[in-house]
Amino acid sequence: MIEAPESASSLVAEVRQLEQLLGQASAALEAQRQALLQRRLAMPPAVLQRMETLKAEFKQLQSQVLDEQTELQQLRALADMSTRITNSLDIDTVLSETMELVIALTNAERGYIILLNEDSGALEFRISSESGLLGLTTATGEQPQISMTVVKEVMTTGEALLADNAFKDERLASNKSIINFTLRSVLCVPLRYKDETIGVVYVDNRLVAGLFTRRELNLMTAFANTAAVAIANARMYRRAERILAELTQVKALMDNIFSSVGSGIIAVDSADVVHTFNRAASELLAVTRERAVGCEVGAVLQEASLQLDEHLKLVKARNADHTLEVSADLPERGEVALSLTLSPLKDREERTQGVTLVMEDITHLHEHETTINAMRRILPEGMVENIDEIANIEMGGLRREVTCLFADVRPWGTLPAVSASEKLKILNQYQAVATACVTEAGGIIDKYMGNELMALFNTQLNPARNHAQQALDCALLMRDRFIALYAALGINPQPHFYIIGLFTGEATLGNVGSFERREFTALGHSINTARRVQEHAARGSVTIAQQTLDHIRRCSDGPLPYAISPRAPIYGKGLSAGMQAYEVSRS
């Protein structure tokens, strides 16, 4: 409790002293009246009446002084509560302490601050203070036994509710909680902030009726107004703390992301002064962040032999992105290739306030492209185009249905009696024709074997549902191109030189070799059988096995555009029963 100052205490003491003096005077007057009666004399009636009037006036004065002192004490307590509430960030502790003081000042039994949850909209008991005059306590986690009807009424109307005798109050006649919880005196005032009711302050007494008056209502209203502002400020403070924490986390995350980005990032302001320079930029240009930030960007880039002044001006003038590739001679790395993207930095009004440079080291891409171009002159086209996929295939391979094509483009016995280099030149003419046909048909050349080549259809690198027909179309395209080559060379071999065989079946496809040197290929009975089909085929023919023809028919929606002629079965290792084969030409 807050102690009253000395002036208030002395006033109360004086009133009590006057009360004693008035009592003494009244007693003395009564003694005189009794003495006069013994002498058969009477005291003038006016004297007694004046004494009774004086006593009544004193009682009124005494009551007024006590009421004023009580109200003064409440006002001083309210001022102290307001100061404590508004100056503390620990709002729950302060509200709990001041709630106990409110209960003492109003002579209430219990008091609660009930708030509206901002997210769920449910009413929640924020502060609970119970003196337990009836010996009834609320179990932990249970809602106190108060009239929620009164609370909801005040929340809805935004008006205070004072019931000095709840049992006889017509407004609460149908309120079962008033009867069930033995509530007599109830006072509930709204917590309002900016015309919005955010909760209520509720006090009651289960024993005494008529306990709360207009004075307690005014006290509670003033307390509620101060508490509402404090609660709103506390909520805003917590939101600000939460937002600040989130912003701090986001900034930390952005800093981590920014520093870990593999691309070099440089941001310059309208005066071309560097204010952002990440770790990757420092590593790419071999310039420290401390050296770069705060310096003119031209001076920083000059250390890396980069001249970008005109490009920066272009971005600002056009207010649009600009990309380019440049070479830089770095002191620690030598010649490197960089890909640069320059973008305008804009403010909210879309005005350009600077430029962001994002740089990528593409030196390895240039080196890779140079290597690939060199490999194109050595390796089959299909393998070069899919070299990354081939490198990622695990050692050991995968079982898969494929169609294998073997082609003898120019048998050794048909070559003229010329030097080995001339023979190789002739073979390369024919292999070039065959290679182009395989590429156009979607096949992959597995290997060259002098005058022969092996092509695969439906590998992991060139999947196709109708791979058997794809391979057959490739073989017939070879036939057409070889005939055109004969005409260009001025020859008309009879029979034609080429010998082509096809077989469809399962094979194991994958990389063989070691991690340092590996080769993508296909192995298995199907590959060996395809080779035997080609070895048993006649010159100038395209021969397919029964399995290949069956696959073509399964994948075809109509009649086949081929002339298919059965030929003698093929025998050999693993083919003791003979394998049906067919020679195919265009129909």
Sole residue written with tokens 């790419």: 284
- With H, G, I as helix, E, B as strand and everything else as coil, classify residue 194: coil
pLDDT of residue 165: 52
pTM over 0.85: no
Which positions ≥6 away from 403 have C-beta within 8 Å?
Answer: 456, 457, 458, 467, 468, 470, 471, 502, 503, 504, 548, 551
Same topology between domain 88-129+147-238 and domain 263-366:
yes
Q: What is the dihedral sign for C-alpha 434, 436, 442, 444?
A: positive
CA distances from 176 to 114, 123, 146, 149, 166 (A): 20, 20, 11, 9, 11
pLDDT in tens, 208-247: 777 788 888 887 888 788 778 877 777 788 888 888 888 7
**∠ at Cα 306 (305, 312), nearest 5°?**
160
- With H, G, I as helix, E, B as strand and everything else as coil, classify residue 293: coil
- Confidence check: pLDDT of 381 > 60: no
State the architecture of 380-586 in CATH terms: 2-Layer Sandwich (3.30)
pLDDT in tens, 57-89: 777 766 665 665 655 565 666 666 666 666 666
- Say if CB 51 and CB 27 are below 8 A apart: no
Instruction: Give the number of residues written for the chain.
Output: 587
Query: Among 79-93, 113-127, 347-361, 420-434, which stretch is predicted with the lowest mean pLDDT?
Result: 79-93
Sole residue written with tokens 């909680």: 177
**Phi and psi of 309, rounded to 5°?**
-55, -45
pLDDT of residue 497: 95
State the architecture of 263-366 in CATH terms: 2-Layer Sandwich (3.30)
Q: State the average pLDDT over residues 112-133.
A: 80
pLDDT of residue 267: 87
User: In angstroms, rounded to a whole number, what is the distance separating the alpha carbons of residues 385 and 443?
Assistant: 12
Q: State the average pLDDT over residues 77-102.
A: 67
Mean pLDDT score across all residues of the chain:
79
User: In angstroms, rounded to a whole number, what is the distance separating the alpha carbons of residues 474 and 305?
Assistant: 53
Task: State CA 310 to chain mean position distance.
Answer: 39
Residues paired with 323 in a beta bridge: 341
Sole residue written with tokens 């034609």: 496
Residues paired with 448 in a beta bridge: 453
- Confidence check: pLDDT of 568 > 80: yes
- Confidence check: pLDDT of 456 > 80: yes
CATH of domain 88-129+147-238: 3.30.450.40
**Structural element, H or E, at residue 446:** strand 444-449
- Confidence check: pLDDT of 408 > 90: yes
* Greatest pairwise CA separation for the chain in angstroms: 181
- Confidence check: pLDDT of 324 > 90: no
User: In angstroms, rounded to a whole number, what is the distance separating the alpha carbons of residues 277 and 530?
Assistant: 62
CB-side exposure of 461: number of CA atoms within 13 Å? 29
Token code pair at residue 330: 């770095």
- DSSP type of residue 498: -
Q: How far from each other are the two terminal CA atoms of the chain, in whole angstroms?
A: 114
- Say if CB 542 and CB 442 are below 8 A apart: no
Neighbours of 284 (CB within 10 A): 22
pLDDT of residue 85: 63
Token code pair at residue 498: 């080429």
Where helices occur in 322-386 by DSSP H, the ranges are: 363-376, 381-385
pLDDT of residue 138: 47
- Say if CB 355 and CB 316 are below 8 A apart: yes
pLDDT of residue 176: 54
- Confidence check: pLDDT of 472 > 70: yes
Domain extents in the chain: 6-71, 88-129+147-238, 263-366, 380-586
| Residue 470 burial (C-beta neighbours within 10 Å; 0-12, 13-18, 19+) | buried
pLDDT of residue 226: 79
pLDDT in tens, 23-53: 777 777 778 778 878 877 777 777 777 777 7
pLDDT > 90 fraction of the chain, expressed in percent and rounded? 24
Sole residue written with tokens 């309208």: 270
pLDDT of residue 434: 96
**Phi and psi of 37, rounded to 5°?**
-65, -35
Neighbours of 586 (CB within 10 A): 11
pLDDT > 70 fraction of the chain, expressed in percent and rounded? 76
Neighbours of 500 (CB within 10 A): 28
User: In angstroms, rounded to a whole number, what is the distance separating the alpha carbons of residues 399 and 417?
Assistant: 44
User: 312: closest CA among 274, 283, 262, 363?
Assistant: 274
Token code pair at residue 378: 């050595």
Q: Are β-strands 352-361 and 334-346 bridged in parallel, bridged antiparallel, or unpaired?
A: antiparallel
pLDDT of residue 248: 78
Token code pair at residue 269: 């302001």
Task: State CA 306 to chain mean position distance.
Answer: 38
pLDDT in tens, 487-545: 999 999 999 999 999 999 999 887 765 555 556 678 888 999 999 999 999 999 999 99
pLDDT in tens, 147-169: 788 888 899 998 988 876 544 45
User: 531: closest CA among 573, 474, 481?
Assistant: 573
Per-residue DSSP letters for 388-439? HHHHHSPBT-EEEEEEEEEEESS-GGGS-S--HHHHHHHHHHHHHHHHHHHH
Q: State the average pLDDT over residues 324-345.
A: 79
Neighbours of 104 (CB within 10 A): 15
